Chains A and B, each alone.
Chain A
Amino acid sequence: MKGLRKYLTPFAPDQSGAVSVLYELGGIIVICDAGGCAGNVCGFDEPRWFSHKSAVFSAGLRDMDAILGRDDKLVEKLTSAAGKLEAAFAAIIGTPVPSVIATDYRALKRMAEKKTDLPVLTVDSTGMSLCDEGAEKAYLELFQTFAREDQPVIPGKIGVLGVNPLDLSDLHAGEKLERLLKGEGFEQVCCYGMGAGLEAVKAAASAEKNLVVAPSGLKTAQLLEKRFGTPYEVRNPLAEAMLPEIDYSGKKILVVQQQVSANSLRHALQKRGAGEITAATWFMKKGELAQPGDLRLTEEDQFEALVKNGGFDVIIGDPTLWPMTNGFTGVRIDAPEFAVSGRLAAR
């Protein structure tokens, strides 16, 4: 049945992806909800909640606020918070309630900027898309707002887009990427949102090159290329480490990961002599990153049928997928995706 989940938990929604991008950047983040979405973000979808402090609030919307469209009340609360906290910006993150009552984010931004003297970002997430779409919107809004024009290019500097725990499933992704890219000869590595802060975002134009490690960063890389002429490359240098040392030669392999990781795994597997490789993702499938035969998964039934009929020797994916692979006699390789299983896979 369409949409029925028997094995998988609901995936993190777009507002969680948006918060994930902004979490470490020193702003006041207001989730425009009654409290439940903020609870989900902080309790489940943001693993840094337990280790990194960040000013994440719920707007605490009530029935009458929605019915009466009391945007002014939200601006008042935000102004009060801005007076008490040292914040570099404020961000208002959409959820199903403002989406349904058609909250005007441009007007909210205008009103809040006037009252707080802070730059205000708004992300029109709806709670009805998945986390990567929210992250994509947040990256765009962030760089559109803060990236400055007058930055000379620094040779050896690389910007990395798409680094967040939901897309990379690793709380040390920033440090690891920095180490790997320095090993490739880059002198300065800016993993925006995980390691590199708001000042790095402002100076994004000075990167010699951008690296996109998840599909959520692609549109922003394209924006930065258009605005500043910064070329970009798409690959996840962390992906190869997911592969255990086994014999892949001639094997038919299914890779289920976010698209950039899946492509990097495909590349690594091809180098090791693998046979036919199918990449599938539960998240966005960008046409420009896809190869013929790649799949966007939406239903459990679809995944079960793929495994049953695909004739694969190896499946690489989140361990919470394994109960759907009954009868599969090949090799299962654990590659946890936080956006699929949250802390279930880490447990």
Chain B
Amino acid sequence: MLKIAIYGKGGIGKSTITGNLAAAFASLGKRVIQIGCDPKADSTINLLGGEPLKPVMNYMREMDEDPETLEEISKVGFGGVLCIETGGPTPGLGCAGRGIIATFHLLEDLELFETWKPDVVLYDVLGDVVCGGFAAPIREGYAEKVLIVTSGEKMALYAANNINSAVKNFEDRSYAKVFGIVLNHRNVENEREKVQAFADNAGLKIVGEIPRSNDIIRFEDQGKTVIEGDPSLPISQRFFDLARLLLASEGQA
């Protein structure tokens, strides 16, 4: 099973990239689960025709008891991707990190992996590794590979560096390893060079490169990924390339 966590600065395009990767894996015939780990709960929206999914924390808030079935907290989206959102507390209250942990325990109780038997699991994580809860997706038993999404912007690279350092700190805990960087272009001057310099310095590889694309925006307006909208587009091929590279790393190609 290929299990990947996607981290990066807030607003850098993690959910767009995760949703498109999920759609690409699904189009390659894989059984996929995407878990949004962000209180905003919008990770999977483009796999679901723009219709939001009820996050696990909303379910818990309304029902005040654990769901008994997976169907109560998930929806099947494009290509059969099983979509789950952890959601979070009312902004300003409670503990979002704890929400992620509680969701993961719940998914274990519901035997998500045993019953759904996925080939690929994607965790789309809020911003940075800010506390134990947000590191949960890279703990033993969860993701084994980390993708760091960054542009050439200074603050995005700063966040990428923080994430890489956090993952390195966890070496003695047997956590996930960074698989590589996904460069999401923002039309910054010398963007490739800047990100390449960061990657070289951190000992990482740029494993995917997503050019600025109006097609992404156009299809997102329709509640779709570009893979669903038009898989033949060059931008869609970038996601297929990354998906194939990840599958090959796992011997699933």
Chain A positions within 8 Å of B, measured between CB atoms, are 69, 100-104, 106-107, 110-111, 114
Contact pattern, B 68-104, Cβ under 8 Å of A = 1, otherwise 0? 0000000000000000000000000001011011000
Name the CB-closest residue of B to A102.
B132
- Neighbouring A residues of B173 by C-beta, 8 Å: 104, 106-107, 110-111
Known A100-B98, A104-B132, A104-B136; further 10 A-B contacts with Cβ < 8 A? A69-B131, A69-B132, A102-B97, A102-B101, A103-B132, A106-B140, A106-B174, A107-B173, A110-B172, A110-B173
What are 15 A-B contacts defined by CB distance under 8 Å? A69-B132, A100-B95, A102-B100, A102-B131, A102-B132, A106-B139, A106-B140, A106-B173, A107-B139, A107-B140, A107-B170, A110-B140, A110-B172, A111-B172, A111-B173
Q: Answer whether residue B133 sits at the interface, using C-beta atoms and an 8 A cutoff.
A: yes
CB distance from A75 to the nearest CB of B (A): 10
Count how many chain B residues have C-beta atoms less than 8 Å from C-beta atoms of the other chain.
18
**Pair A102/B133 contact, Cβ less than 8 Å:** yes
**Pair A114/B172 contact, Cβ less than 8 Å:** yes
CB distance from B37 to the nearest CB of A (A): 12
- Max count, chain B CB within 10 A of own CB: residue among A100, A103, A104: A104
Q: Answer whether residue B141 sits at the interface, using C-beta atoms and an 8 A cutoff.
A: yes
Q: Answer whether residue B175 sits at the interface, using C-beta atoms and an 8 A cutoff.
A: yes
- Neighbouring A residues of B95 by C-beta, 8 Å: 100
CB distance from A119 to the nearest CB of B (A): 17
**Pair A110/B98 contact, Cβ less than 8 Å:** no
Name the CB-closest residue of B to A114.
B172
- Neighbouring A residues of B135 by C-beta, 8 Å: 104
Q: A107-B175, A111-B172, A114-B172 are in contact. Are A102 and B98 (CB under 8 A)?
A: yes
**Pair B136/A102 contact, Cβ less than 8 Å:** yes
Judged by DSSP, the binding face of B is helix
Docked Cα-Cα span, A323 to B139, in Å, equals 49
CB distance from A96 to the nearest CB of B (A): 11
Contact pattern, B 130-165, Cβ under 8 Å of A = 1, otherwise 0? 011101100111000000000000000000000000
Name the CB-closest residue of A to B105.
A124
Name the CB-closest residue of A to B100.
A102
Docked Cα-Cα span, A114 to B171, in Å, equals 13
Docked Cα-Cα span, A106 to B139, in Å, equals 8
- Neighbouring B residues of A104 by C-beta, 8 Å: 132, 135-136, 139-140, 173
**Pair B98/A107 contact, Cβ less than 8 Å:** no
**Pair B174/A101 contact, Cβ less than 8 Å:** no
Name the CB-closest residue of B to A103.
B132
- Neighbouring A residues of B174 by C-beta, 8 Å: 106-107, 110
Docked Cα-Cα span, A148 to B185, in Å, equals 55
- Neighbouring A residues of B139 by C-beta, 8 Å: 104, 106-107
**Pair A101/B132 contact, Cβ less than 8 Å:** yes
CB distance from B98 to the nearest CB of A (A): 6
Name the CB-closest residue of B to A107.
B173
- Neighbouring B residues of A106 by C-beta, 8 Å: 139-141, 173-174
User: 8 smallest A-B Cβ distances: which pairs?
Assistant: A107-B173, A102-B132, A102-B101, A102-B133, A106-B140, A104-B139, A101-B132, A110-B174
CB distance from A188 to the nearest CB of B (A): 36
Name the CB-closest residue of A to B141.
A106
Name the CB-closest residue of B to A106.
B140
CB distance from B172 to the nearest CB of A (A): 6
CB distance from A172 to the nearest CB of B (A): 36
Name the CB-closest residue of A to B136.
A102
CB distance from B129 to the nearest CB of A (A): 11
CB distance from A161 to the nearest CB of B (A): 22
- Neighbouring B residues of A100 by C-beta, 8 Å: 95, 98
CB distance from A265 to the nearest CB of B (A): 30
- Neighbouring B residues of A69 by C-beta, 8 Å: 131-132
CB distance from B83 to the nearest CB of A (A): 23
CB distance from B45 to the nearest CB of A (A): 26
Name the CB-closest residue of B to A67.
B131
CB distance from B95 to the nearest CB of A (A): 7
- Neighbouring A residues of B101 by C-beta, 8 Å: 102
- Neighbouring B residues of A107 by C-beta, 8 Å: 139-140, 170, 173-175
Docked Cα-Cα span, A319 to B97, in Å, equals 43
Docked Cα-Cα span, A101 to B174, in Å, equals 19
Name the CB-closest residue of A to B172.
A111
Name the CB-closest residue of B to A104.
B139
Name the CB-closest residue of A to B174.
A110
Docked Cα-Cα span, A114 to B173, in Å, equals 11
CB distance from B181 to the nearest CB of A (A): 25
Docked Cα-Cα span, A167 to B174, in Å, equals 37
- Neighbouring B residues of A114 by C-beta, 8 Å: 172
CB distance from A123 to the nearest CB of B (A): 14
CB distance from B3 to the nearest CB of A (A): 15
- Max count, chain B CB within 10 A of own CB: residue among A69, A101, A114: A101
CB distance from A254 to the nearest CB of B (A): 26
Name the CB-closest residue of A to B173.
A107
Docked Cα-Cα span, A69 to B136, in Å, equals 13
- Neighbouring A residues of B100 by C-beta, 8 Å: 102
Docked Cα-Cα span, A111 to B169, in Å, equals 13
- Max count, chain A CB within 10 A of own CB: residue among B131, B132, B139, B170: B132
Name the CB-closest residue of B to A2.
B64
8 A Cβ contacts from B104-141 to A: 131-133, 135-136, 139-141
